[in-house]
Structure 1
Amino acid sequence: MSKLFTSDQVAAHNTDKDCWIIVEGKVYDVTTFLNDHPGGRKVLLKVAGTDATTQFQQFHNAAVLEKFGPELLVGAVSAHSEATTTSEEPTPSIAEGMTEGEPFGELVPFGDPYWYQDWYSPYYDDSHRRLRRFVRIFVEKEMMPFCHEWDEAKKIPASLFLKAGAAGILPAVAGGHWPVEYVASPPPADIAISEWNAFHEFIVCDELARCGSGGALWGLCGGLGIGLPPVMNFGSAELKKRIVPDCLSGKKFICLAITEPYAGSDVAGLRTEAKKTPDGKFYILNGEKKWITNGVYADYFTVACRTGEPGMNGISLLLVERSMKGVTTRQMQCSGVWASGTSYIAFEDVKVPVENLIGRENKGFKAIMFNFNHERMGIAIQANRFSRVCLEESLKYGHKRKTFGKNLVDHPVIRQKLANMARKVEATHAWMESLIYQTTRMPPELQMLKLGGPIALLKVQATQTFEYCAREAAQIFGGLAYSRGGQGEKVERLYREVRAYAIPGGSEEIMMDLGMRQSIKVSQLMGAKL
């Protein structure tokens, strides 16, 4: 039931003891919020009893209403002269996009992929459309209103992991196929297990990134998406049974600990060392890891360490548990992704049972490489959606910000910025879809060989597009993109997070070199005349 008021009735509530305002057709009692308003109480009192939609949209983003609105909402404005009460829900402004060719979303140009509008695609069916809507509702309700708060606090609440686990979002991003052996429930949105494919995971990852926060996204599933697959693909049956279900349900957390103060992209050069005890029952682990996503709160650490000769042939993977004596973590202060729990980890004489070996001893490098395509594709998906967020936010802002007597978007120089952003985003998205399609058709043993090079180059394309769009969006927003929170919140935050996408998973320089070397190698194997 929603109470309806006339504009005259709202106008009567115009003092500091009784202050109502109208925003986007809804009536809010902001009396108790006056002293908490970041712009001061006088800003609200100036619009007391009136429609403040224009002023609100000029200085705030929609997430503010999502966060504070429900507690302050008292009703809506009626078009009739008398106040009434109604139980009818408002009619959606656009269709829900549940059938092919039907639009979905806000329809901001290039704010969503083409297939969200009335464009046709060979990659998606009704199950993808249902999932798209399901994840969007989750993100807009459970994540988007709180990203700034989580970023400032440098952590996300444990309750979000449980909600994401129960919703089937965590199992959806853990490795491509639906992990039926570890999850009792079927995929979300009434999708049959037999229907699940790489494009479903693509949609989940892409929609999660609409929150506009790398910290929130990495905090929720960054460690999971790279730390758990080695266990799932190479761990013993006992290890999988004990570790995987709790991680996919959000009850426990895992991370991947490879990078060190001495070794980043050069994985074969890592120094963390594990030596077997004389009785052969334990490894004694010593070393340091740095820039480890989710390490601050992880229960489990998939640790790359040296157990044999120098180079790639002497590396093993161990599943280390926080409860083991000698494991210490501390949060690192980084430029971006603050809520992700980036940490420095020290292992001091940690006693790890040999049963916690993931795969075979001295064969860990292969297990690490096995998930790199999946990891880099995930980074590319997130980076390109963040580019869309920058473009979408810029388009919305450009239609309400006026300079020199007209909207920003009416200035040719601004439209040129938007056009360059759009063409880069759409080209990158099309390449992504093409490569993801190959993973649904190509045998797994060929994917590492044939797709490694193109996916490495795609990661560079996506992160450089992200960097370009974040910069151009910051120019369009001006000073609002230089201050944390408020209208330019997403753009400011994403501008700080660009390097967190350009470097992890393989720096641009390493990816460019790998992309060409691998592609040349494959072409020669196929008989290319070079």
Structure 2
Amino acid sequence: MSSPQAQQQQAGTFKQIDAAEVAKHNQKGNLWIVVDSLIYDLSKFAALHPGGEAVLYDEEIAGQDATETFFGLHRHEVLLRPQYKRLIIGQVAGEEQQIIPPPPGAPSKIPYAEPTWLQEKYHSPYFQDHHRHLQREMRKYVDEHVHEVAQRCEANGKRPDVELVQQMGKNGINAMRMGPGKHLQGRKLFAGIKPEQFDYFCEMIITQELVRMGARGFGDALQGGMVIGLPPIMNFGSDELKKEIIEPVLAGEKFICLAITEAFAGSDILGGLRTYAKKSEDGSHYIVNGTKKWITNGTFADYFTTAVKTDEGFAVLCIPRSCGGVETKQIKTSYSTTAGTAYVTFDDAKVPAKYLVGEEGAGIPVILSNFNHERWVMCCSTIRASRAICAQLMMWTHQRKAFGKPIISQPVIRAKLASLISQCEAAQAWLENVTYQMTKMDYFTQAQHLAGQIALLKSWSTRVSKDVADHSVNILGGRGLTQSGMGSFVEMFHRTYKFDAVLGGSEEILADLGIRQALRNYPVNEKL
């Protein structure tokens, strides 16, 4: 049986108590405070208060409305925890709650917290009703099923719950994260989206809604290896290889990663690659020796989509862990170990020839064509993550007071916000334009015409995230460097934004690629 107090909370009603009565409870052992009209009995909790007991007996807090003080120190989510909800004993008579989170799936009302296509009174040539429906359902799903797992895994460093990945597989989300294509035909997709409706804008929505969790390591852990490691199989693999790998990976029964980078081969794949695959005389298998480094999801992957050298040149092998001779070691990075970042060793790994992806000696097109989608996904992520931090700043600058006024009243703060928000808006607009071009091109045409655009967008968008990370920490001060509390999302972003600036090609390399790609089509008849 629940208590009358719990029953009142469940019904959304609270016992009405006069403010004058609340003011009488301001002593040790008899302490009430008010936050957003709700009255909390802290008499027993005070001794357990993480910030110390003494601060609760301040004359502006004990027996008083402490709303402003609370939100200057704590996030609203603290009040939503069960252990604190149990402390509620009533509501100040004649007052109503003002701070009510939006319902699951609803867009934020904070200015610039959402791209314009999600804001009221704005219009878009790209997004249709089914896009908006998908966004609402995906946000609701993330809030209700993914967010808690993400925060838990960020804290304990463990890989995402396999049950969650498999649930996403059953809902069609894993398949949808691979973008539009034949693999969606006849498949039941999330939110009732029809396969013929699904386009790159749908994929962008899914990616950007996952980013809002503010859990960078978990974001890569949650099938990041699939997003970049499975496309070569889907686009270049044999029918036998596709049958063995694709469906089990999409279902969350097996896991895959992309193994390209080596200690001696980052951007210089052609010149630095040392992992070598020697084909047997009878052609039945390859013997693979070498190492790979910084491999996302490598510690728990069942398959490694691997770039190798052969006697014929370059090739891609999808190496099963089960073939033997494959070992992985965890690499600790700036984000949590939940991503499963690995150092991979191939020591006389005997790989059956059927695991060759494409043709031997023709591995470079397989590798390069895969980069465009990977980089575009990263653009979707970093641009949305930057916007999410701007929303945090909008809230903080309204809550935080200095010299008796909210810091949003200071012109220097408004100028910083104006600069950061402008960059986020520009980045999203460029992203939407590139995404629209992708909807009009097949996979191989994209590789020919959009590689430069995507490279420049990724290079620039991570410069945007640098500005956002830098200024957000300055605005939050010490809180922006603290892994818990008000600045936790900012701290996470500042600690991890560089991943997108390095992974998939560094900023400098991609900026150069964008120009080199343009020079290929430079008109010889144009002169100053």
**Do they superpose with TM above 0.5?**
yes
1:168 maps to amino acid: G
Q: Of 159, 168, 172, which residue of structure 2 is paired with 1:168?
A: 172
The equivalent residue for 2:82 is 69
Q: CA deviation at 1:373?
A: 1.1
Give 3-state SS (helix, strand or coil) of 2:286's partner.
strand
By how many angstroms is 1:210 displaced?
Answer: 1.0
Measured against aligned partners, the alpha-carbon deviations of 1:193-226 in whole angstroms (never above 9, x if no partner) come to 1111110001111111111222111111311110
CA 1:222–1:478 in 2, change beyond 3 Å: closer, same or farther?
same
Closer, same or farther in 2 for the Cα pair 1:401/1:356, shift >3 Å? Answer: same
Task: Check if 1:2 corresponds to 2:19.
Answer: no
Q: Which amino acid aligns with 2:300?
A: Y
Q: 2:174·2:251 contact (CA, 8 Å) conserved in 1? A: yes
Distance 2:304 2:283 in 1: 22
1:178 is displaced (CA, Å) by 6.8
CA drift at 1:486: 1.1
Asked if 1:200 is matched to 2:202, the reply is: yes
Letter in 2 for 1:167: N
Residues in 1 aligned to 2:46 and 2:343: alpha-carbon distance in whole angstroms: 42
Structure 2 CA distance for aligned equivalents of residues 301 and 22 of structure 1: 56
Cα offset, 1:69, TM superposition: 3.5
Are 1:59 and 2:68 matched, yes or no?
no
Match of 1:217 in 2: 219
String of CA shifts for 1:453-486, please: whole Å, max 9, x gaps: 1110000111100111111111110000111111
Measure, in 1, the Cα distance between the counterparts of 2:100 and 2:481. Answer: 35
Distance in 2 separating the partners of 1:37 and 1:165: 42
Q: How far did 1:298 drift?
A: 1.3
**Per the alignment, do residues 353 and 408 of structure 1 end up closer, same or farther by CA in structure 2, a change over 3 Å counting?**
same
The structure 1 residue matched to 2:181, chosen from 160, 177, 180, is 177
Rg (Cα) greater in structure: 2
- Corresponding residue of 1:39: 51
AA aligned to 1:491 is V
Alignment of 1:320-399 (within 5 A): 320-336=319-335, 338-399=337-398
* Corresponding residue of 2:6: none
2:189 partner SS: coil
Secondary structure of the residue that 1:329 maps to in structure 2? Answer: strand
Asked if 1:151 is matched to 2:140, the reply is: no
Deviates more, 1:168-177 or 1:72-81: 72-81
What is residue 255 of structure 1 aligned with on the other side? Answer: 257
1 CA distance for matches of 2:54 and 2:245? 54
SS at the partner of 1:432? helix
Task: Name the structure 2 match of 1:281.
Answer: 284
Q: Residues 238, 155 of structure 1: CA spacing in aligned structure 2 closer, same or farther, 3 A cutoff?
A: same
Aligned in 2, Cα 1:145/1:478: closer, same or farther, shift over 3 Å? farther
Whole-angstrom CA distance in 2 between matches of 1:197 and 1:154: 33
2:127 paired with 1:124: yes
Aligned CA distance change for structure 1 residues 520 and 40 (closer, same or farther; 3 Å): same
Equivalent residues in 2 for 1:487-502, closer than 5 Å? 487-502=486-501
Shift of 1:377: 0.7
* 1:87 matched residue in structure 2: none
Asked if the contact 1:171–1:178 (Cα under 8 Å) also holds between the matched residues in 2, the reply is no
Any unmatched runs of 5+ in structure 2?
1-9
Partner amino acid, structure 2, of 1:152: A
State the distance in 1 between where 2:146 and 2:44 align: 25
Aligned counterparts of 1:289 and 1:109: Cα–Cα separation in 2: 44
Q: Show the counterpart of 2:4.
A: none
Is the 2:160–2:218 contact (alpha carbons within 8 Å) kept by the matching residues of 1?
Answer: no
Question: Any idea what SS the aligned residue of 2:486 has?
Answer: coil
**Counterpart-to-counterpart distance in 2, 1:509 and 1:45:** 55
Q: Deviations over 1:31-80 (max 9, x none)?
A: 997787543566678768876543443223344456x3388458795676
Structure 1 residue 404: Cα displacement: 1.3
- Deviation of the 1:231 alpha carbon: 1.0
Number of the residue aligned with 1:138: 141
8 Å Cα contact 2:257/2:296 also seen in 1? yes
User: Percent same amino acid among aligned pairs?
Assistant: 40
* Contact kept in structure 1, 2:469 and 2:493, CA below 8 Å: yes
Please tell me whether the aligned partners of residues 171 and 248 of structure 1 are also in contact (alpha carbons under 8 angstroms): yes
With over 3 angstroms needed to count, the CA separation of the structure-2 counterparts of 1:149 and 1:94, relative to structure 1, is: closer
1:405-432 deviation per Cα after TM superposition (whole angstroms, max 9, x unaligned)? 1101110000000000011111111111
User: Which amino acid counterpart does residue 299 of structure 1 have in structure 2?
Assistant: D
SS of the equivalent of 2:283 reads coil
Mean alpha-carbon deviation: is it higher for 314-323 or for 371-380?
A: 314-323
Q: Deviations over 1:375-426 (max 9, x none)?
A: 1111111111111112111110000000111101110000000000011111
Report deviation, 1:316. Answer: 1.2
Counterpart in 2 of 1:86? none
Q: Tell me, in whole angstroms, the C-alpha distance in 1 between the residues paired with 2:253 and 2:83.
A: 29
Deviates more, 1:8-17 or 1:475-484: 8-17
User: What is the rounded CA distance, in whole Å, between the counterparts of 1:80 and 1:516 in structure 2?
Assistant: 66
User: What is the alpha-carbon distance in structure 2 between the residues aligned to residue 35 and residue 319 of structure 1?
Assistant: 58
TM-score normalised per structure 1: 0.87
Residues 189 and 51 of structure 1: CA distance in aligned 2, closer, same or farther (over 3 Å)? farther
Cα contact 1:316–1:361 (8 A) shared by 2? yes
What secondary structure, in the 3-state scheme, does the structure 2 residue paired with 1:319 have? Answer: strand
- Which deviations, in whole Å up to 9, do the C-alpha atoms of 1:475-529 show, x marking residues without a partner? 11000011111110111111111221111111111111110010121344xx762
Aligned length in residues:
508
Q: Which amino acid aligns with 1:61?
A: R
SS in 1 for 2:318: strand
Q: Which letter does structure 2 place at the counterpart of 1:112?
A: E
> Counterpart of 1:186?
188
RMSD: 3.2
Q: Hey, what does 2:266 align to over in structure 1?
A: 264
* Cα distance in 1, alignment partners of residues 519 and 190 from structure 2: 41
User: Cα offset for 1:149?
Assistant: 3.6
Please report how far the alpha carbon of residue 369 of structure 1 lies from its aligned counterpart in structure 2 after TM superposition. Answer: 1.2
Q: Conserved in 2, the CA contact under 8 Å of 1:3 and 1:74?
A: no
Choose 392-401 or 244-253, whichever is displaced more: 244-253
Contact (CA 8 Å) 1:30, 1:72: kept in 2 or not? no
Aligned to 1:481: 480
Q: Structure 1 stretches of 5 or more lacking a match?
A: 83-89, 98-103
